[in-house]
């Protein structure tokens, strides 16, 4: 994306409009056959370590990393530019808002959530990403057979996520599914233990 284009749309009135324009930019850059395969989305990509390494290993795949923090997206974009990965995109946005406003033709084949904020206090559990309405929203944006790959060091968040997924029809945990790609994230590097689950769209 040229700096000029970015400046033009950073100043647009609404975040929804920025997401729509970002989606259109992805649509005009990614070849149609790759769009048909679906995208890999990383929510809370931080500094982009995992997704950049993933994209480097599969440069023909279309990938989008999103995060709430501007500096992290800037660092992620520097990695993308340095490695010249044309179908890798990073964008500052909030996950729910992003999924609600993405153009319909951008469909997800995989969503990756690595060490999301666990919101340990009970009164904050409602802020956890993995829960019923969000899982349904994600399902609505996903291709048949899409997968949700989740990793956390937080035992309570892991058990909560298993319960949330088991309570809904849209996703089903697949204990046989293989983790798509191993590469340490910033948080994985500093945490001694973690648990992993993969759910498939049902
Ligand atoms: C604990 S950090 C993990 C970062 C990275 N995945 C890792 O493993 O090093 C969680 C990240 O998720 C981002 N985040 C939290 N809530 C989000 C949301 N609703 N939408 C997008 N990003 C979010 C935060 O800004 C933060 O960078």
How many alpha carbons fall within 13 Å on the CB side of residue 89? 25
From residue 153, alpha-carbon distances to 72, 180, 197, 199 in Å are 21, 18, 12, 18
Q: How confident is the model at residue 4 (pLDDT cuts 50, 70, 90)?
A: very low
Average pLDDT over residues 58-74: 96
Q: 139-154, pLDDT tens digit by residue?
A: 999 999 999 999 999 9
- Write the CATH number for 50: 3.40.50.150
* pTM listed for this prediction: 0.94
Which domain range does residue 73 map to?
3-201
The Cα 82–Cα 78 span in angstroms is 6
Count structural domains, the chain: 1
> How far does residue 66's CA lie from ligand 1's centre (Å)?
8
Residue of 67, 84, 117, 136 marked catalytic: 117
Q: How confident is the model at residue 12 (pLDDT cuts 50, 70, 90)?
A: low
Q: Does the beta carbon of 63 sit less than 6 angstroms from any atom of ligand 1?
A: no
Residue 152 burial (CB count, 10 A) = 23
The Cα 53–Cα 106 span in angstroms is 22
Question: With b meaning 16 or more CB within 10 Å and e meaning fewer, what string describes 105-132?
Answer: ebbbbbbbbbbbebbeeeeeeeebbbbe
Active site residue 33: no
Mean pLDDT of the chain: 93
> How far does residue 118's CA lie from ligand 1's centre (Å)?
10
Q: What pLDDT is recorded for position 57?
A: 97
The Cα 107–Cα 46 span in angstroms is 22
């Amino acid at each position: 994306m040229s700096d000029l284009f970015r400046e033009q749309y950073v100043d647009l009135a609404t975040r929804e409009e920025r997401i729509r324009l970002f989606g259109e930019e992805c649509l005009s850059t990614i070849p149609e056959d790759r769009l048909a395969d679906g995208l890999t989305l990383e929510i809370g990509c931080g500094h982009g370590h995992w997704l950049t390494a993933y994209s480097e290993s599969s440069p023909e795949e279309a990938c989008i990393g999103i995060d709430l923090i501007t500096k992290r997206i800037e660092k992620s974009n520097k990695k993308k530019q340095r490695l010249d990965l044309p179908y890798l995109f990073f964008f500052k946005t909030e996950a729910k808002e992003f999924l609600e406003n993405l153009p319909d033709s951008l469909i997800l084949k995989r969503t990756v959530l690595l060490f999301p904020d666990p919101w340990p206090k009970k009164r904050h559990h409602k802020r956890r990403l993995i829960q019923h309405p969000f899982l349904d929203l994600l399902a609505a944006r996903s291709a048949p057979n899409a997968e949700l790959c989740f990793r956390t060091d937080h035992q309570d968040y892991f058990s909560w996520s298993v319960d949330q997924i088991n309570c809904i029809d849209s996703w089903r945990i697949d204990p046989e599914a293989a983790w798509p790609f191993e590469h340490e994230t910033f948080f994985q590097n500093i945490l001694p233990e973690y648990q992993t689950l993969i759910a498939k769209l049902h």
